[in-house]
Chain A
Amino acid sequence: MSIQAAPRLPLKRQSLHKTRWGLVISIGFLALVLIAAIFAPLVAPFSPAAVDLLRVNSGPTPQHWLGTDALGRDILSRMVYGSRTALTGPIVVVLASTILGLLSGLWAGWAGGKIDAIISRIFDIVLAFPALLLAILAVALFGKGLIAPVIAMSIAYTPYIGRLTRQLVATEKNRQYVAAYKVQGFSAPWIATRAVMPNVLGVVGSQTTQNFGYVLVELAALSFLGLGIQAPKADWGNMINEGQAALVSGNFLPALIPSIAVVLVVVAVNSVGGWLSDKLGDPFA
């Protein structure tokens, strides 16, 4: 059936030659945080646990650029060490959930039928548990720390990737190019992994970076609630928790600095993610 394409008007599209300053700053900032996390002992001016009761809640000084907290510990040093747990948790969760989700989603979407029904049903049940709730349940069972919540959240985030992948693969499977590959004698596993998968990765990648932000926030929330990383170990979440007491006395820095760090990392990751999904989703633009 011949259908004339409606006249297409050119879409407004970001000029390729224009530098995206937001993106450059985001990448720079993330690189900075990553370097700080990896080389924390070299970067941090003080030990994160060094208590100095003579200089409590000091505010910025030449020695303590970001001031000290209620126990006189250097906030900058605690921020630097805190970035380690802030980044490791999300990285592990995102990697694990993306791999699991891609595989199960590809399987469900490609196979269809009963396998699809079973996998989708499992996704539905896991989705009934909000990630943070599952993490709290894991803490209740296995005790506080990073390991139990990270495992729980890896499970909780798998269906987000899995459902998306499944839906994309199921749509993609019915496209003519897949039929064209079949007619030419390519095997189903070859088509699924070599032809369909790359076309799906762009969208999944965008969801993955978004998940990174969510997981970072949720793990920080867990330690803010006192259920994650335990004091005296430095983590952005428990720093906010500890800094909250000083808030009432008008001393905002101890709580505000880790708060700002969380927000900035999430914004930066989302900005890089947006760019990445544009790139992966439409590599020929």
Chain B
Amino acid sequence: MAPPQASGAKDPGKPVLAGLKLAAGKIGSFIFTVFVSSVIVFFSRWLVPGDPISFLLRGRSPNPEAIAEVTAIYGLDKPPLEQYWNWITGVLTGDFGRSLQYRQDVSEVILGRLPVTLGLVVMSGIMIAVLGLAAGICASLLRGTWADRAIIASMSGLAAIPSFVGAIVLIAIFAVQLGMFPSFGSGTGFWDMIYHLILPSLALALSFIAVVGRVTRSAMLEEFSREHVEVARSRGVTPVAVVIRHVLRNALGPILTVSGLLVAGLLVSSAIVEQAFGLAGLGSLLVSSVDRLDFPVVQAIVLIVVTAFVAINTLVDLLGPVIDPRLKAGEGAR
């Protein structure tokens, strides 16, 4: 049985309803954003002057058969809106059209490349979360000491290392000089792939570790300065409990929000790392498709990356009220 609700307090049904409404709004805006993005991605082709056939056939021989084939596959003789409709309904059923370069379905090409990119992003995600949080928490606990300054300094350094520089340096040290890790390819089999992906994930993770570390440190320090932390201390709560329940717990919100935004960089930078380490992932597919003027594949990958990015941030938004109950009531965050 539900406990009796206090007079003057909110009706017990209401917060749940408000929470659902909030969630529905966020999912609605996710759908809207992805829809507009798909429109942008699809119609971006119309920005290029000239007719679509010659655009799609750039760098290929424009013989009549090729023209007829492209026109038929992409429905270029139909009005633009109908073309979009056909494309987007296809995308929703997993059909991204045909690749000009591979003469295969785009979805097949992409599926073949997905495991490497997923492995790369997940592995560096774990590195970023573990090392970034650890560095930030340590620095905030040791604030003002030499250890804090050392962590801050090394994070400032790390943050300035782009993934391609990280890749170069890691290859030079661990692959060429020490010979500990391979510098090329993704190996065969699951464990071999993990082994091959250690250096690439680290190269990808480096600057993000620094960002998460700095955000964690400042979020922790901000929460440390709040009055309720001093109140907890004044009531004899142990330091460990103060840090975990009153500082880290409250700092999670901002850390999670920033982490969600970092995903964009992570997804795109994976292209750079894949290129540097010769990995056959989505990113290197995107680059080679741009290189070989295979626009249908480019379109598909751009849409997938944008959708993944927006989806993750919607997820973070949906988690918000769980972490901070004030958000549930629709009140502004802190």
In the complex, A touching B, CB below 8 Å? yes
Interface residues of A (CB under 8 A from B): 124-125, 128-130, 132-133, 136-137, 139-142, 213, 217, 220-221, 224-227, 237, 240, 243-244, 247-248, 250, 252, 255-256, 259, 262-263, 266-267, 270
Residues of A within 8 A of B100 (CB): none
Residues of B within 8 A of A217 (CB): 162
* Residues of chain B from 157 to 174 with CB closer than 8 A to chain A in the complex: 157, 160-165, 168-169, 171-172
CB of B135 closer than 8 Å to a CB of A: no
Which 10 A-B residue pairings sit nearest by Cβ, starting from the closest?
A: A130-B264, A259-B165, A217-B162, A266-B160, A140-B298, A132-B268, A140-B290, A130-B268, A267-B160, A224-B164
Chain B: minimal CB distance from A65 (Å): 21
Residues of B within 8 A of A227 (CB): 287, 290-291
* Contact indicator B160/A213 (Cβ below 8 Å): yes
Q: Within the complex, which residue of B37, B172, B271, B276 is in contact with A125, where a contact is CB–CB below 8 Å?
A: B37
* Contact indicator B162/A247 (Cβ below 8 Å): no
CB of B41 closer than 8 Å to a CB of A: yes
Nearest-neighbor residue (CB-CB) of A12 within chain B: B144
Report the Cα distance A216→B271, complex, angstroms.
17
Report the Cα distance A262→B172, complex, angstroms.
17
Residues of B within 8 A of A262 (CB): 162, 165
* Contact indicator B276/A244 (Cβ below 8 Å): yes
Residues of B within 8 A of A255 (CB): 168, 172
Count how many pairs of residues, one from A and one from B, have CB atoms less than 8 Å apart in the complex: 116
Chain A: minimal CB distance from B196 (Å): 16
Residues of A within 8 A of B309 (CB): 128, 130
Residues of A within 8 A of B271 (CB): 132, 136, 225
Q: Name the prevailing secondary structure of the A interface residues.
A: helix
CB of B295 closer than 8 Å to a CB of A: yes
Given contacts A128-B310, A240-B168, A248-B175, 11 further A-B contacts (CB under 8 A): A128-B34, A130-B309, A136-B271, A141-B48, A221-B163, A221-B164, A227-B287, A237-B164, A248-B171, A255-B168, A255-B172
Residues of B within 8 A of A129 (CB): 37, 40, 302, 306
Chain B: minimal CB distance from A184 (Å): 30
Given contacts A225-B287, A227-B291, contact A130 B172 (CB under 8 A): no
Interface residues of B (CB under 8 A from A): 29, 33-34, 36-37, 40-41, 44-45, 47-48, 156-157, 160-165, 168-169, 171-172, 175-177, 183, 264-265, 267-269, 271-272, 275-276, 286-287, 289-291, 293, 295, 298, 302, 305-306, 309-310
Given contacts A244-B276, A250-B176, A262-B165, contact A142 B48 (CB under 8 A): yes
Report the Cα distance A225→B289, complex, angstroms.
12
* Contact indicator B286/A220 (Cβ below 8 Å): no
Chain B: minimal CB distance from A210 (Å): 10
Residues of A within 8 A of B48 (CB): 141-142
Can you list 21 pairs linking A and B with CB atoms under 8 Å apart? A128-B306, A133-B306, A136-B271, A136-B286, A136-B287, A137-B41, A137-B298, A140-B295, A140-B298, A141-B45, A221-B269, A224-B164, A224-B275, A225-B272, A226-B291, A227-B291, A237-B164, A247-B171, A248-B175, A252-B172, A266-B162
